[in-house]
Structure 1
Amino acid sequence: MRSATQRALLALALVLPLAGLALLLAVPGADLRWAHHPAHFWLVLGTAGLSAGLAWATGDAAARRGDARLAHVSLAFLASAGFLALHALATPGVLLAESNVGFAVATPVGVALGSLFALRSTREVAGDRAVAEVRLARRLRWVLLAVMLGWAAVSLAGLPPLDGPPAPAERLPLLVAVPGTLLYAVAAWRYARLWRARGEGVLAAVLAAYLLLGQALVAMALAPTWQLSWWEWHVLLLVAFALVAVGARRSWREERFAGLYLDDTAAGRREASVLFADLQGFTTFSEQHPPEEVTAMLNAYLAEAVPAVLRDGGDVDRIVGDALMVTFNTRGDLPDHAVAAVRAGLALQEATARVSGRHPGWPRFRVGVNTGPVTVSLLGTHGGRTHTVIGDTVNTASRIEGQAPVGGVAVGPETLSSLPGTARTQPLGLLALKGRTEPVETTLVLSL
């Protein structure tokens, strides 16, 4: 729900900064000068650190969920963070003896670059296009980092075009402010439409941040150095990133940026493989041993089982007691997901067999794998959110696991049809699975 607080926040972000800047420029006597170099250094560096933290958090969420929007939001924050850090180095008398032209104009360049990614983050993509967009964002991250390092090297070496006098370089903020402000305005307008549809607080925070970043570019182009109007754009940047950090902090910790997800991330359809594993005899073992020993046993197994499934591209959806649920291809970027899931199941059994070999009395894993259509879903609301897969494919995978022999990997017919001809298998026959009206042909996979 769009709260009155969110509406007030957006109104202030839209009106107050420009009104303050206009007042200071219209009344020169109010635009006081304050040349405090250490304050500038720490303000800019702290803002860069906050932006870098947001870039990492959104980038991590984008990688886990395969979300193209978050990937480009992360790049927008990264562009601002890197060039802000370079700008901090331009503070005279702190790290450098005198101001450096390249570092001095770094902030408008970085914030303007961020507007390109902000606008691209507004695109709604799905399926193969979303996968391609995430891959593009991954490559752009390395390009952006290379540009930052190159900018720093050229600035320190005093090479063209960053070797000129400060006066011509001061025209650069104006050149980048006009397109950058327009791009942020378009991005903010599109986010406003998304916010009206979803009403998520983190969306309102990103929308407000884009408004503030666009207005910061205007202040960079117009404000004289060390005047209050000049300090204003530094504060605008800090407030922009702080709003996003607060918005994310107030979201449920497991899916902080869920409000920004593409529709296909929050409720998309995939062809996926689902692996279930649990310990045969776990209940009896728990009854006969103290909780501390049960916990030690589970941790010993999971320390081997989880890395085994992650190596083959699996995502651990959940761990409940002795049960492990792993999904393959929820991001749509693993075309051989059935093979990967079976390979992961075999690797899990091999790794945990070494553990059980050292502890003969411990229970052993059973593994079931099934392949088919699923819905990738964001379930729950604030205070209890999870990103998971739903569908009959999931339910059948769980039932197949319950029928698998101890130490074995049982698969359904769709999974079996995707395996290479070299796979060694053993039919288990038609199994009547609980909850299904028709029996399912289940097969034991011995090796790939």
Structure 2
Amino acid sequence: MQGDSTGEPEATVPSSDENDQIAAAEPYLPPATQPIRSVVWAFHMVVPLLGLWLLLSFPAQLNIRWEHPPSHFALIVAIAGVNVVLGLMISQAATRRQDARLLLVSLVFLACAGFFLLHGLATPTIILAKGSFGFDIGQPVGLLVASVLASVSALPLGERAAAAVLARADLLRAGLIVLLVLWGWASLVEGLTPLSAPPPKGGATIGVLSWVGAALFAVAAVQMFRIHRRRPSVMLISLVTAYALLCESMIAGFFRPNWLLSWWEWHFLLTMAFVFVAYSAYIQFRREGSSQGLFDSVALSATVRRIQARYDEALEELVGHLRRMGERGTAAGEAPLATRLAGKFRLTEGQAAVLDRAGQALAAERELSLRLGALVDVGRRARVGLGEEELLQGALERVRAAYGEVRMGLVHSGRVEIGDRSFGVGDFTGDEPVAADGVVVHPLTVKGVLAGALEVPVGTTRQDEALAATLASQLSIALENARLYRELETLFRQYMSPDVAASLLADPDQAALGGSLVELTALFADLKGFTSFSEKVTPGEIVEMLNRYHTAAVPCVLRHGGTIVQFVGDALLALFNAPAEQERHAEMAARAGLAMQAEAEKIAAGNPGYPRFRVGINTGMALVGNIGSPELRGFNAMGDAVNVAARFEALAEPGTVVIGAATRDQIGPAATVRPLGPLTLKGKAKSVEAFVLTSLD
């Protein structure tokens, strides 16, 4: 347990988002510090002092004498009774919470109760026949003792100081009892001490006692108010008010003589101070239904943290209980959670009932959250890319954790088999489920046709039924997506590069006509001798040869991040760094070209009559985009860099890869090349450097 050596705890530090919200809103003020309530509170404090001033300023007209000992005795005994009850309640809370501040506050009320009772017994005609010195100063002395205890209780006691106070709790209580006994013996046994004798001529000298007590009560009120600012509480503000009224009563008690209205106002202020605290405690008791935590807000910050920790433990126990209920239900013989926590925190029956209902609501809320989470997860899995079997298996595992024993079946030969049940198209009317033996079977459809069925345990609320229907709808969407994606793989992706297909799926606007200027590396490849080979063989052999070469070449391009944009007879065009950005695109194109030649050589080695690949690669700026018409278009690249790559391919010897100077420069020293010297290419006014690429480190 940490101490209060640095003062009362600051309020919990809000997050940055909370700070922004606080800055944008009006600043928070505790109830007693809000402007209107502060004015009302100050008015209540000023009115008694104003009344005292009027009584003293116009003594002949207002400050009349009213001497009635029985009324005084009854009033003082009533005040003492209120203080006894409050003192014992706070003392019990101090023992239960092991809190030094509560102990000291309880002694404040018990000291007041004891001295007030003795002051009441010293009222003339009750025990003693006439007024006594003890009667005059008994109440100020008692309030002075209480003010010392109040000022100490309001201090930010550290851990060591609080422990020292608690260790001497019995000694403090015993000391107060001894002091009261001695004071009563001295002031009520006639002729024993000057306290039981008539007051000295000229009145009792109590000025010092009154002003010292008033100052100490003022300090205690200010300190308690500072704690209230950090930890707003009805009980704290009632103590602040009580201490302020006691401060005023000490001031009023300075102005004598006895039995005048100003003297009665002193007693009125005392009554109001303690009745205010008692009324606040009563209101809080009515609101909470228990006295268990009435004075917790007055305790030291370390005690408040300890109490909060116990509440956190109770909340964890509640959450754990709900989790266990979700996993295995309530075990036989296990005490209800509300009963266990009621015993632990001494809750009333009403509070235990509220806690039980809250637990049930939390359990329902948790179950709802789990099911909504499962729906979200199924929706996430419904994204394209997963195979049908993998998708449904993963979805079922996730759903069973939230919905219980959920089963699914798909249509085979026009029927859906789920366990020993069989369903056909005629068993379902539209999307309406079928109820059977504690379960509800929802149809799964693809394009409006029955594709399967989902079996879910019967829910306990209409909300459960709606969630199950939503789950079936979500799984239908997931199943339809999986099958459409499989068709897309077969029909769409096999007719274009995967990169182009993925880009169009993610952003259909990319299919619009037009393009942009980007740097890319173009790779052209074709078969040297294809025409003469075609003249000697049948068309079927031509197709077989092309498919074998392209089957070997295409993976080489794709593996290195290239995009194949077209096949033209025996030739292909691949782009690197388009449409997707690619680092080291020149190097990747060169590696793809060498890999293609390696794979093509394996095919040519087993087929001596086959033509052989030649590859040309060049890097530069080109216009990349969709070219064609609104009815038919294709992804392609145009520009000098692409044309030069085609020229390099036409000049390359079979089995070689020819690259341009820009490509070689971007690859750097990793490329081993053989210069071809300046080349004059068709359509180029200036000569172009080219190199035969032999290897890459």
The answer to whether structure 1 residue 121 and structure 2 residue 150 are counterparts is no
* Within-5 A mapping of 1:34-433: 34-157=66-189, 158-167=191-200, 170-251=203-284, 252=288, 253=290, 254-268=292-306, 284=332, 320-321=338-339
Q: Does the C-alpha gap of structure 1 residues 71 and 25 become closer, same or farther in structure 2, counting only changes over 3 Å?
A: same
Farther off after superposition, 227-236 or 150-159: 150-159
Structure 2 contact 151–216 (Cα < 8 Å) conserved: yes
Residue identity opposite 1:27 in structure 2 = F
**Distance (whole Å) between structure 2 residues aligned to residue 324 and residue 207 of structure 1:** 32
Deviation, 1:230, is 0.5
**Distance (whole Å) between structure 2 residues aligned to residue 209 and residue 324 of structure 1:** 33
Structure 1 contact 101–165 (Cα < 8 Å) conserved: yes
**Distance (whole Å) between structure 1 residues aligned to residue 229 and residue 278 of structure 2:** 21
Deviation, 1:94, is 3.1
Structure 2 contact 188–196 (Cα < 8 Å) conserved: no
Taking only aligned residues, the RMSD between alpha carbons, in angstroms, comes to 3.4
- The number of residue pairs the alignment matches comes to 296
- The structure having more radius of gyration, on CA atoms, is 2
Structure 1 contact 105–170 (Cα < 8 Å) conserved: no
Structure 1 contact 66–131 (Cα < 8 Å) conserved: no
**Distance (whole Å) between structure 2 residues aligned to residue 97 and residue 319 of structure 1:** 64
Deviation, 1:128, is 4.2
**Distance (whole Å) between structure 2 residues aligned to residue 168 and residue 148 of structure 1:** 26
Structure 1 contact 101–169 (Cα < 8 Å) conserved: no
Give the ranges of 4+ consecutive aligned residues of structure 1 lying more than 6 Å apart after TM superposition: 269-272, 322-327
**Distance (whole Å) between structure 2 residues aligned to residue 268 and residue 322 of structure 1:** 20
CA offsets 1:67-95 (integer angstroms, 9 cap, x no match): 11111111111111111101111222234
Cross-structure match for 2:57: 26
Deviation, 1:125, is 2.7
CA offsets 1:351-402 (integer angstroms, 9 cap, x no match): xxxxxxxxxxxxxxxxxxxxxxxxxxxxx9xx99xxxxxxxxxxxxxxxxxx
Deviation, 1:257, is 1.0
TM-score (norm 2): 0.39
Gaps of 5+ in 1: 277-281, 287-297, 299-317, 328-379, 385-448
Cross-structure match for 2:481: none
Residue identity opposite 1:16 in structure 2 = V
**Distance (whole Å) between structure 2 residues aligned to residue 139 and residue 23 of structure 1:** 45
Q: Does the C-alpha gap of structure 1 residues 96 and 222 become closer, same or farther in structure 2, counting only changes over 3 Å?
A: same
For residue 60 of structure 1, give the secondary structure of its aligned residue in structure 2. Answer: helix
Residue identity opposite 2:31 in structure 1 = R
Cross-structure match for 1:332: none
Structure 2 contact 67–259 (Cα < 8 Å) conserved: yes
Residue identity opposite 2:301 in structure 1 = D
Structure 2 contact 131–198 (Cα < 8 Å) conserved: no
**Distance (whole Å) between structure 1 residues aligned to residue 160 and residue 308 of structure 2:** 11
**Distance (whole Å) between structure 1 residues aligned to residue 196 and residue 123 of structure 2:** 17
Q: Does the C-alpha gap of structure 1 residues 319 and 228 become closer, same or farther in structure 2, counting only changes over 3 Å?
A: farther
Q: Does the C-alpha gap of structure 1 residues 319 and 135 become closer, same or farther in structure 2, counting only changes over 3 Å?
A: farther
Deviation, 1:129, is 3.3
Structure 1 contact 13–208 (Cα < 8 Å) conserved: no
Cross-structure match for 1:11: 42
Deviation, 1:22, is 1.1
**Distance (whole Å) between structure 2 residues aligned to residue 129 and residue 270 of structure 1:** 22
Residue identity opposite 2:339 in structure 1 = G
Higher relative contact order (CA 8 A, sep 6+): 1
**Distance (whole Å) between structure 1 residues aligned to residue 204 and residue 92 of structure 2:** 37
Farther off after superposition, 246-255 or 84-93: 246-255
Structure 1 contact 45–84 (Cα < 8 Å) conserved: yes
Q: Does the C-alpha gap of structure 1 residues 165 and 196 become closer, same or farther in structure 2, counting only changes over 3 Å?
A: same
Structure 1 contact 6–204 (Cα < 8 Å) conserved: no
Deviation, 1:219, is 1.4
Cross-structure match for 2:31: 2
Gaps of 5+ in 2: 1-29, 318-329, 346-350, 356-697
**Distance (whole Å) between structure 1 residues aligned to residue 100 and residue 202 of structure 2:** 35
**Distance (whole Å) between structure 2 residues aligned to residue 168 and residue 175 of structure 1:** 18
Deviation, 1:239, is 0.4
Structure 1 contact 9–208 (Cα < 8 Å) conserved: no
Q: Does the C-alpha gap of structure 1 residues 41 and 8 become closer, same or farther in structure 2, counting only changes over 3 Å?
A: farther
TM-score (norm 1): 0.59
Residue identity opposite 2:129 in structure 1 = A
